[in-house]
Amino acid sequence: MESETLTEIEMRLSNVEATAKLICDLNETLRTENAELRAVVEKLPKTGDGVAITPGQYLVHSRDGEITAVVVEAILDGSVNFEYIDDGSGIGVYFQIHGSVCESIYSTREAAVAAKPSINL
């Protein structure tokens, strides 16, 4: 078995230290980017169960004891524009909710029922 020279050991140690520094630098970069992304998500409006709302997302609307599927059309100037999913009539019905929390909108049917047990399914 061949033994390493002191120079070879020092070179390997230097490589290990360089790799450790690189990992630490990458970790710090990821932490910073994660914090920046979380700040963006925090600014998004939320459903009644706390899920961030984004355009194109399918959600459920709870009103008058009924649950209806909706799609998020746009988020503009503090308002979220929704469209009810086509019921076959071909007529799009839109509505808008203002504010940072859309209390009658939920991420899933289960979340809507859990929040409002009187909902008719």
Our measurement of the distance from residue 61's CA atom to the centroid of its chain's CA atoms, rounded to an integer in Å, reads 19
Task: Report yes or no on 120 lying in a domain.
Answer: no
Instruction: Convert the pLDDT of each residue in 43-59 to its tens digit.
Output: 999 999 999 999 999 99
Range of the domain at 27: 1-43
What pLDDT is attached to residue 53?
95
In a shared domain, residues 12 and 24:
yes
In a shared domain, residues 58 and 94:
yes
pLDDT band of 40, cuts 50, 70, 90:
very high
What residues contact residue 60 under an 8 Å CB cut-off, 6+ apart?
A: 67, 68, 69, 70, 105, 106, 107, 108, 109, 111, 112
Q: What is the mean pLDDT of residues 27-55?
A: 95
What pLDDT is attached to residue 85?
83
Provide the residue type at 86 as one letter: D
Q: Is 10 exposed, middle or buried (0-12, 13-18, 19+ CB in 10 A)?
A: exposed
In a shared domain, residues 55 and 32:
no
How many domains is the chain partitioned into structurally? 2
Task: Report yes or no on 82 lying in a domain.
Answer: yes
Report the CATH number that the domain containing residue 59 is assigned in CATH.
Answer: 2.30.30
Would residue 91 be called left, alpha or beta, if left means φ above 0 and alpha means ψ between -120 and 50 degrees?
beta
What pLDDT is attached to residue 99?
84
